[in-house]
Amino acid sequence: MCGRFVSSSPPDELARYFDVQQVTETALEERFNVAPSTDVYVVVESGGVRRLDAFHWGLVPFWAKDMSAGNKMINARAEGITEKNAYKHAFKKRRCIIPADGFFEWKKVPGQKAKQPYFIHREDGEPLAFAGLWEVWRPNKDDDTEVVRSCTIITGQPNEKIAEIHDRMPVILPPNVWDQWLDPQNDDLDTLGKLLVPAPSRLLTAHPVTTAVNNVRVDGPELIEPATEAQERLL
């Protein structure tokens, strides 16, 4: 599962990194504790143009009765994604990349009720490219002008390093498959499915952080700093 992540890179840097031609006018605040149901940056492609946009995190299928459906769809399991009604249409035509500067996972601690949060990020400090899906939902089916664009993060099996912390991790796409993943004309589901594999362990590093990240109302760069020995003793 991926329920919290960091989005601290400014949009112009993300645009350069992901070779984006158009950038949304919706400027999102720097966030170190991004939670579901908020807007997040996404990279999408349409009409041959790659865009950096802002979508609601929590995929709302086109057939949903209301937006609350997205509360349970912040993640899409890679296993069986081509068969699940909530995701199979998006997997075929509406794939995206969700940029992140790192993410949090919680590790069970033997003998303790509270779990230890970890911040996981790239060794080189570059952004992560989460594999994602997006959808268009219309609150009024008779009105095409009002739409909600939402997204979900695809998760799969962990690599050896993340398996020590959690049994799931986001699918992280390497740069050499971004074109293939984002192309809405690419409907080779077998080949696309083969991209949903764990990122190499060497790509990532992780360290324990303060449990303050458990509170969605808490935000700030201190959340990704290594927990002090004193903080760890309190866990």
Which residues are tagged catalytic?
2, 105
Structure tokens given for 153: 């993060």
Q: Which residues neighbour 215 within 8 Å (Cβ) at sequence distance 6 or greater?
A: none
Task: Please state, in angstroms and rounded to a whole number, the distance separating the CA atoms of residues 169 and 37.
Answer: 19
> Could you give the residue ranges of the DSSP H alpha helices within the chain?
11-17, 88-93, 160-163, 178-182, 189-193, 229-234
Tell me if 69 sits within 8 A of 145, measured CB to CB. no
Pairing of β 75-77 and β 148-156 = parallel
> What's the first-to-final CA gap in the chain, in angstroms?
22
Structure tokens given for 119: 């911040």
Structure tokens given for 54: 């802002």
Task: Please state, in angstroms and rounded to a whole number, the distance separating the CA atoms of residues 181 and 32.
Answer: 27
Type of residue numbered 33: N
Task: Please state, in angstroms and rounded to a whole number, the distance separating the CA atoms of residues 187 and 86.
Answer: 17
Q: Which residues neighbour 228 within 8 Å (Cβ) at sequence distance 6 or greater?
A: none
